Amino acid sequence: MREPRVAVVGATGMVGQEMRKVLEERSFPVRDLTLLASERSRGRSFEFRGETLPVHVLDEDSFEGIDLALFSAGASISRKFAPIAAGAGAVVVDNSSAFRMDPEVPLVVPEVNPDDAFKHKGIIANPNCSTIQMVVVLQPLHAEYVIRRVVVTTFQSVSGTGKEAVEELMGQVRAIESGEPVECEVYPHQIAYNCLPHIDVFLENGYTREEEKMVNETRKIMGVDDLAVTATTVRVPVLVGHSESVNIQFERPVNPEDARRVLSGAPGVVVIDDPAGDLYPLAIECEGTDPSYVGRIRTDFSTDNALNLWIVSDNLRKGAALNAVQIAELLVE
């Protein structure tokens, strides 16, 4: 797959548009690019490398001659069309949750488990956005000190839900500022000036599906089936950029200075950690950038061999589009 014919499924959504931008920014060796979306996007077009590309309507015949298909259209679309694309000879990199926990489908973050990408049988899964930015930081620390337990609380931006959620947040802010009633359609409660400890549906055990994803996906990506992980995921009124408070317990002692040294040399990680100078990762500064930023690295004095840290990343890029393109880069290399 030296110079593949590429299709982007869900090309008009926030992640699909970001995929197109990342392909161009990283000079991915695309022979031809096909943009695919639903019927309601018929007639739209986008620029790519100086050309205007029309959006085609996705159907069962869309993947003839396609070598690589990047999916960003939701689990139901992926379940239907990803096997069709793979059956037509394309390698699928799927951003939805449809295949992530399928034992036959590799779940890949290139900085963590690149070799798993080559075990695919036509479909490779892109992990959840909040999982990706965390495991990029966890893996180098695990390789050095061996992680026993992870406790994570996320603060996830509305763009993780989609453009309708972004519009709802902005509309609610305008309504509040003008003294008008606030309307809630995307989220069950007002998101403007509020935090919702509710991402995806609640399960019988009291956790949400998003929290369950973080647990199971972290174990699969890092290859540690019994890793102790627990999560609380929170939606916050931020447009782009997920933030995470992470507590990590290790098999042996680790001090913050050594952790900073390890992370400073890790691929995909940038350390910003100078509290005295008010320097730490911020969601508003990560937008449009690729790394997982980490700071507030400090000892947890409540237990043995533990650190607290703060991770921030652009959920549309490393959390979705960029990671998918990086997987594709592994295949063409």
CATH label of the domain that carries residue 214: 3.30.360.10
d(CA 155, CA 242): 6
Do 324 and 276 belong to one domain? no
Asked whether the beta carbons of 192 and 176 are under 8 A apart, the reply is yes
For residue 56, the model assigns a pLDDT of 97
d(CA 270, CA 198): 29
Do 189 and 62 belong to one domain? no
For residue 22, the model assigns a pLDDT of 98
For residue 62, the model assigns a pLDDT of 98
E-only strand ranges, 12-146: 32-37, 45-48, 51-57, 68-71, 91-94, 123-125
d(CA 166, CA 238): 9
Prediction pTM value: 0.96
Check residue 278 and report its DSSP letter.
Answer: T
d(CA 61, CA 81): 10
pLDDT in tens, 111-160: 999 999 999 999 999 999 999 999 999 999 999 999 999 999 999 999 99
Asked whether the beta carbons of 75 and 96 are under 8 A apart, the reply is yes
Do 161 and 101 belong to one domain? no
Do 60 and 118 belong to one domain? yes
Do 177 and 45 belong to one domain? no
Do 168 and 194 belong to one domain? yes
Torsion of CA 199, 112, 149, 144, to 10 degrees: -150
Q: Active site includes 129?
A: yes
For residue 1, the model assigns a pLDDT of 72
Beta pairing, strands 242-250 & 147-156: antiparallel
Do 136 and 117 belong to one domain? no
User: Domain tally for the chain?
Assistant: 2
Do 139 and 255 belong to one domain? yes
Do 115 and 165 belong to one domain? no
Given the residues 120, 142, 242, 286, the one annotated as active site: 242
Do 38 and 116 belong to one domain? yes
Q: Active site includes 195?
A: no
Asked whether the beta carbons of 133 and 160 are under 8 A apart, the reply is no
Do 151 and 221 belong to one domain? yes
Given the residues 129, 142, 195, 198, the one annotated as active site: 129
For residue 274, the model assigns a pLDDT of 97
pLDDT in tens, 219-248: 999 999 999 999 999 999 999 999 999 999
CATH number at residue 61: 3.40.50.720
Do 297 and 150 belong to one domain? yes
Asked whether the beta carbons of 45 and 107 are under 8 A apart, the reply is no
- CA-CA distances (angstroms) from residue 275 to 148, 167, 255? 27, 34, 17
E-only strand ranges, 139-185: 147-156
* Residue ranges of the chain with per-residue pLDDT less than 50: none
| Domain, as residue range, for 275 | 131-315
